[in-house]
Structures are given as structure tokens and as C-alpha cells.
Amino acid sequence: MVRLVLVLGDQLTPDIAALAEADRASDVVVMAEVASEAGYVPHHPKKIAFVFAAMRKFAAGLEQDGWRVAYTRLDDPDNAGSIPGEILRRAEEFGAGEVLATEPGEWRLISALEDMPLPVHLFEDRRFIATHAEFEAWAEGRKALRMEYFYREMRRKTGLLMEDGAPSGGKWNYDAENRKPAPDEVTASGPMEFTPDAEVDAVLDLVEARFGDNFGTLRPFWFATDRGQARRHLAHWVKTGLPGFGDFQDAMVRDEPFLWHAVLGLYLNAGLLDPLEVCRAAQDAWEAGEAPLNAVEGFIRQIIGWREYVRGIYFLEGPDYTRRNALGHDRPLPAMFWGAETGMECIRQTVAQTEAHAYAHHIQRLMVTGNFGLLAGIDPHALHEWYLAVYADAYEWVEAPNVIGMSQFADAGVIASKPYVSSGNYIAKMSDYCGDCRYKVRDKTGPDACPFNLLYWHFLDRHRDRFEGNPRLGNIYRTWDRMDEAKRETVLSEARAFLDRLDEGAAV
Ligand code: FAD
Ligand code: DLZ
Ligand code: SF4
């Protein structure tokens, strides 16, 4: 009997579980560009174009390898509009009685597949280092699920940067040498850019016609769209970006969106690159003396530590995770997140480059937009949907733990031991944004006070009951309490006035 083999837009890996279980002589691969996936949040046009172009090229590669592929384009008149709809249509067309699928990275699609009226065999996604069972076993009985300990397990499992059972260089973590402030000169050359070929161009036209009104600039489009290009980008970055990766990992520089960052998340998450191949390329560079250990360890930790850890949390915590709201925040997302005018230069820079490239680096996501969202009490679900829409590397399994957990503390501390909040000082130290801002980062109150300075205390004050006892925040509450009472009242009333302006939809 014919079986259908489902390959989703972020499963573009030749030996993905469902393909590995299938028989190319008799089974039919189903791939579909569908309105439901392209529209469940208003994805950035560059992200949609990347997914569709990479899907088309991957399907062509499968056909060359002898697979029968039933590929549906978005504008096919028979397009059923959803993944379940396409499966049913193709099952009827080919007389198929069952489906082989690799577990999707989102509860929404997992339950849609489980509810299908024909048998769907879901295979665990093997592109990750930790299996679900391994993560569950690690988490079992622990009071706190801290990434650092999980990361050490992953080092031992993969053997990356390990010598005779001990970490290379004698330390597990070289972060103390990383995270320097913004440099005077940016010497990294940025990601490798690829000129669209005719096939990619056709996708761009389609995306422009159908999703041109979504937030985000489609052209120039420069992403890699197949494995060969993604590997060339990786090799380029290992040479030009990796050596400076650790030092300037947290720095932010005006009009420099990429700095030394890898811009690999979108390729890893779609399946064009494998996490171990990427880590081995970094390790090889260290062994060849081409990159320092602090950079290579820091990078490998992001991939086999953070990336695996957040995935483990997503599946451990269950389908309600994106609805968590431990702090009861309910303010709507401000228009400046969609590009509306703002005097806050750090937000303007971060949103403008997000609009242009569907990219912002970690510290911009965490300490600029995320920090603002948390301090201002923005609804975490609205922020979750925003992050899911605007970044080319965003899929729920990786985005939600970062937003709901790490950035918004909406999971009540499953991921973060304290909320990632800061006043304007942190942004001033790590970036050159403040010099060009309508606000003054040194002003703690008054008409020009940096909004982060006001909102920081407002946040701590309104959540005092929850955070006062946190050992990492105790000193900060003591500083606040030592402040003159009149000054504290001025800070809080100016913060409230700022939030009122935000609620009125005024440009801030
Ligand atoms: P680099 O900074 O060069 O890091 C290398 C790689 O490490 C990344 O490509 C990524 O695969 C991995 N990595 C680093 N940090 C993390 C992390 N915290 N979680 C998972 N992987 C990590 N990452 C996504 O892949 N998709 C998302 O939707 C996403 N949303 C985020 C939302 C918020 C609020 C925050 C704070 C972080 C988010 N991250 C997300 C994590 C991180 O910011 C991105 O992986 C990174 O910025 C991607 O850029 P890069 O490839 O240049 O990464
Ligand atoms: C992100 C995305 C988009 C924009 N479009 C499609 C699509 O048309 N067809 C498809 O199979 N996958 C798409 N994807 C990726 C899915 O949304 C992704 O598989 C789920 O979010 C699970 O991670
Ligand atoms: Fe951002 Fe405040 Fe600096 Fe302006 S002064 S760029 S709002 S941190």
C-alpha cells in the first residue's frame, strides 16, 4: 500500500526521520506551501520566501534522488490550504492509507496530525542531540532546570571540546572572557549574501503578491536557500566571524545588525545545517589555531547547550506554555514594534533591522525589545506572536521558551532564575545607541529621562511581593528603599505617565 511521507517546511534534511523510515520505491513524499502555515502569524515576507524557496529546492533534490514527490505550490488551484487538508487530498489522489511524519516543532501541528482520520506515524525528530527521554531523565527530580548543568551533559555526550573526560582548557565555560562592550571598529564582514536565482525570484514574486503587506522588507533577499549555500555561509563565518564571536557577543552597534554573530539559526532550524556539523566546524577552527577557545566554547554552548535546552523545556512544559502569564501582564503591543515612529533609539534600531533582515541578535531580542516588553508589562502572548512572526529563525519550539520563559518570566521561573530586566545603563554600556537618542540615559527623572530608567523601578515596585525575596534581587530592593521617598514617587509617577502615553498610542 502507498504511504504518504510528510516533510514540513522546517524539516528539510535528507535523512529526516520520516524519510529514513520510508521506501522510495513505493511511498510518496508530500510537501505543501499552505496558507495556514504562512498565515498563523503575519510572518516576515523574507521568512516566508526563505521557507518556500528552500522547500522547492529540497523537493527537487529528493526527486533527483529517486523519490516521488507530490509538491503543492501556494498558488496551485487545488491547494487545500492546510497541512491536514493537503494530506487528505493526496491520500485520496494516491490511494494512500497511512502517513509517516517527523514530529513537528509545534504542539498546534502535532495535535492536528494526531487528530487526522487516517493513521499518522509520528517519529521523533533525530536532528537534535538530546532525545525527549534524555531531557526528561535529566529534568526528573531537579528543583531548578539550569542550562549550565544540562550543557555539561551534552559536552560529555558529543565529546565536543572534551579531552580525557575533562573540558578542553580545564574550564566548562569561558564566559568571563566574553561580553565586552561595543568595539570602536567592526571588522566582521557579515553573513554571506546570495543573489536570488530564477527559482528564488519566482518565489519572491509570489510572496510579494500575497504577503507584501506584512511587516518586513522582502527585497533585497540574500538568504541561502539550499544546503550547499548554507555550508558556504558557515565556512565563511567560521573564518571571518567566529574569532570575534565571544568577545563581542553582547555588543550592539548602530547600523551593524550582524557584528560577529553567525546568522545560522534560520539554516539550523529549517534543517539545511546540522547542529553537530556546525559545532565540529567551530571545534576544527580552534584546533587549527584559527579561533580562540572562549569564542569556540561560547558558540558551541549556544548550540548544544541553549538550543537543546530550550527545546527540552518546550516539550516538557506542554501545549499551554505560550499562554503562561505569571506576572499578569496585559498591555497591548505598542505600534513601535511594527515600525511606528519612536524616539527610543535602541528600539528604533532593533525594529528597523528586524524589518530589513528578519534578524536581530540575542541581546537586542533580550535586552532591548524583550526588556522593554517586560518592564512595560506587555502581554507575553502578544510578544510571543510578534517574535514568532518577525524572525526568520522563529519556530515555536525555540521561540516560545526564549520569549515566554527567558525574556518575559511568564513561566514563573522555569528557565530564568530572575527576570532579565535592566535600566538604560546596560544598553548604554553595551551599545552606542544612546548618543543618538531623544532621551538621556543619564537622566533618572524629568522630561528627558530614559524610559528604561523609569520603568525599571516601576516593574520592581509593582512586583515587589514576587521578587523581593529573590536572593539575586535583594540588593536592588535595598537600593530602591534607600532612595529618598519623594524621588521614588517622582520615578513612579513619571513611569505611570509614560505608560499612559503608551496606552493612548502616542509615539514615545
Ligand atoms: P548566534 O548569536 O551567532 O548564536 C549561534 C547559534 O546558537 C544560533 O544560531 C542558535 O542556533 C543558537 N542559540 C543561541 N542562543 C540561543 C537560545 N537562547 N536559544 C536557542 N538557540 C540559541 N532563536 C531561534 O533560533 N529562534 C527564535 O525564534 C528565537 N527567538 C528568541 C527570542 C528572544 C526573546 C530571545 C532572547 C532569543 C531568541 N532566540 C531565538 C535565541 C537567539 O537570540 C537566536 O538564536 C540568535 O539570535 C540567532 O542569531 P544567530 O544565528 O546569529 O546566533
Ligand atoms: C514557517 C512555515 C511557513 C511560513 N510556511 C510553511 C508551509 O507553507 N508549509 C510547511 O510545511 N511549513 C511551513 N512553515 C513551517 C511550519 O510552520 C513548521 O513546520 C511548524 O511551525 C512546526 O515547526
Ligand atoms: Fe534606549 Fe534609553 Fe539609550 Fe534611548 S537613552 S537608546 S531609550 S537606553
* pLDDT tens, residue by residue, 319-364: 999 999 999 999 999 999 999 999 999 999 999 999 999 999 999 9
Looking at the fold, whether 307 and 367 belong to one and the same domain comes out as: no
Ligand 3 atom showing the smallest separation from residue 440 Cα: 5
Model pLDDT, residue 44 = 98
Domain co-membership, 368 together with 443: yes
Which of 236, 245, 302, 374 has most ligand 1 atoms within 8 Å of its beta carbon, as the pocket-test mutant?
302
Residues 6+ apart with CB under 8 A from 229: 192, 194
Assess whether 346 and 365 both reside in one domain. yes
Residue 18 has pLDDT above 80, yes or no: yes
What range does the domain containing 172 cover?
132-190+241-316
Task: Mark whether 270 and 415 lie in a shared domain.
Answer: no
The count of structural domains within the chain is 3
Give pLDDT, residue 181.
85
249's CB contacts (< 8 A; 6+ apart) are: 178, 179, 260, 261, 298, 362, 363
Query: Does the beta carbon of 160 sit less than 6 angstroms from any atom of ligand 3?
Result: no
199, part of any domain? no
Whether residues 10 and 44 fall in one domain:
yes
CATH number at residue 172: 1.25.40.80
Question: Please, which contacts does 398-403 make with residues 24 or more away whose CB atoms are closer than 8 Å?
Answer: 398/105, 398/265, 398/269, 398/307, 398/310, 398/311, 398/314, 400/314, 400/321, 400/322, 401/310, 401/311, 401/313, 401/314, 401/317, 401/321, 402/310, 402/365, 402/366, 403/370
Mean pLDDT, to the nearest integer, of 49-53? Answer: 99
User: How does pLDDT run across 112-164, given as a tens digit for each residue?
Assistant: 999 999 999 999 999 999 999 999 999 999 989 999 999 999 999 999 999 99
Cα–Cα separations (whole angstroms), residue 288 to 174, 239, 411? 19, 11, 42
Question: 9 in ligand 2 pocket by Cβ < 6 Å?
Answer: yes
Query: Do both 119 and 151 map to the same domain?
Result: no
* Closest residue CA from atom 30 of ligand 1: 399
Residue 304 phi/psi, 5-degree rounding, is -85, -15
CA 493 / ligand 2 centre spacing (Å)? 45
Cα–Cα distance measured from residue 420 to residue 413, given in angstroms and rounded to the nearest whole number: 11
Of the listed ligands, the closest to the CA of 30 is: 2
Does some domain include residue 202? Answer: no
* Residue range 90-108, pLDDT digits in tens: 999 999 999 999 999 999 9
Query: For residue 453, which atom of ligand 3 is closest to its CA?
Result: 2
Where residue 185 falls among pLDDT bands split at 50, 70, 90? confident
Do 138 and 57 belong to one domain? no
Distance 401 CA to ligand 3 centre (A): 26
- Say yes or no: CB of residue 151 within 6 Å of ligand 3: no
The C-alpha atoms of residue 386 and residue 337 are separated, in whole angstroms, by 8
Beta bridge partners of 50: none
- Cα 57 to averaged position of ligand 1 atoms, centre (Å): 25
Q: Atom 8 in ligand 2: which residue has the minimum CA distance?
A: 33
| Same domain as 69, residue 119 | yes
369 with 349, same domain?
yes
Task: Please tell me the residue having the least CA distance from ligand 1 atom 41.
Answer: 362
pLDDT band at 409, cuts 50/70/90? Answer: very high
Q: Three-state secondary structure along 115-149?
A: CCCCCEEEECCCCCCCCHHHHHHHHCCCCCCCHHH
Task: Say if residue 183 is in the same domain as residue 312.
Answer: yes
Q: If you measure from the C-alpha of residue 105 to the centroid of ligand 2, how many angstroms do you get, rounded to a whole number?
A: 9
Mean pLDDT of the chain: 97
| DSSP conformation class of 420 | -
Of ligand 3's listed atoms, the one at least distance from the Cα of 347 is 1
Kindly state whether residue 236 falls inside one of the protein's structural domains. Answer: no
Cα-to-centroid distance, 381 and ligand 3 (Å): 25
Please tell me the number of the ligand nearest to residue 420's CA: 1
Residue 69 phi/psi, 5-degree rounding, is -120, 125
* pLDDT at site 273: 98
Closest ligand 1 atom to Cα of 275: 11
Contact criterion met (CB below 8 Å) for 325 and 379: yes
**Nearest ligand (C-alpha, residue 416):** 1
**Distance, CA 429 to ligand 3 centroid (Å)?**
11
What's the alpha-carbon Rg for the chain, to the nearest Å? 23
**pTM attached to this predicted model:** 0.98
Q: Is residue 494 part of a domain?
A: yes
**Ligand 2 pocket: which of 4, 6, 8 to mutate (most atoms within 8 A of CB):** 8
Considering the domain architecture, whether residues 268 and 374 belong to the same structural domain is answered as no
Q: Give domain status of residue 31, yes or no.
A: yes
- Are 280 and 416 contained in the same domain? no
Q: Tell me whether residue 211 is in a domain.
A: no
Task: Output the ligand 1 site: residues, CB below 6 A.
Answer: 261-265, 268-269, 299, 302-303, 306-307, 310, 361-362, 365-366, 370, 387, 391, 393-394, 398-399, 402-403, 406-407
**pLDDT at site 349:** 98
Query: Cα-flanking dihedrals φ and ψ of residue 70, to 5°?
Result: -100, 100
> How far, in Å, is the centroid of ligand 2 from the Cα of 38?
7
pLDDT band at 246; cut points 50, 70, 90: confident
pLDDT for position 183: 81
